[in-house]
Amino acid sequence: MKFAESLGELGARVVLSAREIGELQEAQAHLNSLGIEADFIAADGAVKIDIHRLANETLARLGHVDILVSNAGAVWSAPAEDHPFDASDKVMDLSIRGLFLLTQKIGK
């Protein structure tokens, strides 16, 4: 939220994204109360179709993106040496693959 506040205070129009609409509505209301123009798009950063929709809708609303901030991430509640290999897909899909796809789509 601090990134959005800081960028908004400098005049940036902000588009927030997360899976939970309630969280997004609260964040939008908070930013609006500070005089920051904020919108949101609910999307799962680990799902390719959601990532493409997020990028397309953001570009449709803003025209272009100057700054992309992603703090999405997933962790597993286990030490790295005990981390289940199958669970690594969840972490990699959101933290690496999702960020790569979003950055690539916005960059084009």
Q: What pTM did the predictor assign?
A: 0.86
pLDDT digit string (tens) for 40-91? 999 999 999 999 999 999 999 999 999 999 888 777 777 878 888 878 888 8
Query: What is the number of domains present in the chain?
Result: 1
Length of the chain measured in residues = 108
| Domain ranges, residue 53 | 2-107
Return the closest-CA partner of residue 10 out of 29, 28, 35: 35
What sections of 34-98 are H helices per DSSP?
48-62, 88-92
Q: State the Cα–Cα distance between residues 24 and 37, nearest whole angstrom.
A: 14
The CATH number for 9's domain is: 3.40.50.720
Who wins on pLDDT, 19 or 84? 19
